[in-house]
Structure 1
Amino acid sequence: MSDADGSRARYRRIMRFAMRYMAQAWWYELFLPRIGLERFSALGRRRRLQGIARNFHGLALGLGGLMIKVGQFMSSRLDVLPPEITKELEGLQDEVPPVDFAAIRAHAESELGMPLDRAFAFVDPVPLAAASLGQAHRARLLPADAADAGFADAVVKVQRPGIDRIVDVDLAALRKVAGWLHRVHVIRQHVDLPTLIEEFAVTSMEEIDYLHEARNAELFDANFAGDGRVAVPDVAWERTTRRVLTLEDVTAIKINDIDALRAAGIDPGEVATAFANVMFDQLFVDGYFHADPHPGNIFVTPVPDAAPGAAGWRFSFVDFGMMGEVPDRLRHGLQRLIIAVAARNSRQMVEGIRDVGVLLPTADAAELERALSALFARFGGMGFAELQRVDPREFRDFATEFGDVVRSLPFQLPENFLLIIRAVSLTSGMCSSLQPEFNMWDAVEPYAQQLIRDERGSFVQSIGREAVSFAGVAARLPRRLDDLVSRVEEGRLQVDTPRLDQRLRGLERMSRRVVSAVLFAGLLIGGAVLRPEEPVTGTVLMAASVPPLLHALFAGFAGRPRG
Structure 2
Amino acid sequence: MFRVFRNLLRLASIGRALTRHDALFLIEVTDGGRLLAKILHPFADSRYASLRPGQRLAAALQMLGPTFVKFGQALSTRADLVGDEVAADLSELQDRLAPFPAAAARAIVAAELGQPVEALYRHFEDEPVAAASIAQVHLAVTSDGEEVAVKVLRPGVEQKFARDIALFYWLAGWVERLLPSMRRLRFVDSVHAFEDSVIMEMDLRFEAAAAAEMADNFADDPTFTIPTIDWQRTAHRVLTMERIHGISIDEVEVLMAAGHDRVAIVEKAADAFFNMVFRDGFFHADMHPGNLFVGENGQLIAVDFGITGRVDKQTRRFLGEMLLGFLNGDYRRVAEVHFEAGFVPPDKSIDAFAQACRSFAEPLLGRPLHEISIARLLGQLFEVTETFAMEVQPQLLLLQKSMLVAEGVGRRLDPQINMWQLARPLIEQWMTSNLGPQARVMESVSAMVASFESLPRLVSHAEKTVEALRNGGLKLHPESIRSLQNGGRRSGLFPTWLPWVLVVGLTALLLRR
Fold-level match, TM-score > 0.5?
Answer: yes
SS of 2:240 mapped into structure 1: strand
- In structure 2, the partner of 1:109 is 110
SS of 1:302 mapped into structure 2: coil
SS of 2:149 mapped into structure 1: strand
- Cα distance, 1:278 vs structure 2: 1.3
Structure 1 stretches lacking a partner, 5+ long? 35-46, 147-151, 304-312, 389-394, 481-563
The correspondence of residues 212-223 of structure 1 with structure 2, limited to 5 A, is 212-223=206-217
Alignment counterpart, residue 224 of structure 1, candidates 218, 224, 249: 218
Residue type matched to 1:174 in 2?
F
- In structure 2, the partner of 1:447 is 426
Residue type matched to 1:205 in 2?
I
Structure showing greater radius of gyration is: 2
- In structure 1, the partner of 2:137 is 136
SS of 1:174 mapped into structure 2: helix
Residue type matched to 2:398 in 1?
L
- Cα distance, 1:130 vs structure 2: 0.8
SS of 1:121 mapped into structure 2: strand
The correspondence of residues 28-427 of structure 1 with structure 2, limited to 5 A, is 50=51, 52-53=53-54, 55-71=56-72, 82=85, 86=89, 90=92, 92-93=94-95, 95-143=96-144, 152-183=146-177, 184-189=179-184, 191-303=185-297, 313-380=298-365, 382=367, 386=371, 407-414=386-393, 416-427=395-406
Query: CA 1:405–1:272 in 2, change beyond 3 Å: closer, same or farther?
Result: same
* Contact in 2 for aligned 1:383/1:441 (Cα 8 Å): no
The correspondence of residues 492-531 of structure 1 with structure 2, limited to 5 A, is none
Structure 2 stretches lacking a partner, 5+ long? 36-47, 452-487, 500-513
| Residues 154-213 of structure 1 deviation map (CA, whole Å, 9 limit, x = unaligned) | 000000111111211221232233224324233213x21101110110111111111111
SS of 1:247 mapped into structure 2: strand
| Residues 363-395 of structure 1 deviation map (CA, whole Å, 9 limit, x = unaligned) | 22211212334555543263587479xxxxxx9
Alignment counterpart, residue 413 of structure 2, candidates 434, 437, 447: 434
Residues in 1 aligned to 2:266 and 2:126: alpha-carbon distance in whole angstroms: 34
| Residues 284-314 of structure 1 deviation map (CA, whole Å, 9 limit, x = unaligned) | 22111111212221111121xxxxxxxxx11
- Cα distance, 1:330 vs structure 2: 1.5
Residues in 2 aligned to 1:85 and 1:49: alpha-carbon distance in whole angstroms: 17
SS of 1:363 mapped into structure 2: coil
- In structure 1, the partner of 2:480 is none
- Cα distance, 1:218 vs structure 2: 1.0
- Cα distance, 1:275 vs structure 2: 1.4
**How many residues align structurally?**
434
Query: CA 1:277–1:66 in 2, change beyond 3 Å: closer, same or farther?
Result: farther
* Contact in 1 for aligned 2:18/2:60 (Cα 8 Å): no
Comparing 109-118 and 22-31, the one that deviates more: 22-31
- Give me the TM-score of the superposition, normalised by structure 2: 0.73
* Contact in 1 for aligned 2:27/2:34 (Cα 8 Å): no
- In structure 2, the partner of 1:14 is 14
* Contact in 2 for aligned 1:136/1:156 (Cα 8 Å): yes
Residues in 1 aligned to 2:384 and 2:84: alpha-carbon distance in whole angstroms: 24
Residues in 1 aligned to 2:289 and 2:387: alpha-carbon distance in whole angstroms: 37
* Contact in 2 for aligned 1:54/1:89 (Cα 8 Å): no
Residues in 2 aligned to 1:472 and 1:188: alpha-carbon distance in whole angstroms: 29
Residue type matched to 2:404 in 1?
S
Comparing 462-471 and 420-429, the one that deviates more: 462-471
Residues in 2 aligned to 1:438 and 1:76: alpha-carbon distance in whole angstroms: 23
Residues in 2 aligned to 1:84 and 1:380: alpha-carbon distance in whole angstroms: 21
Residues in 2 aligned to 1:133 and 1:367: alpha-carbon distance in whole angstroms: 45
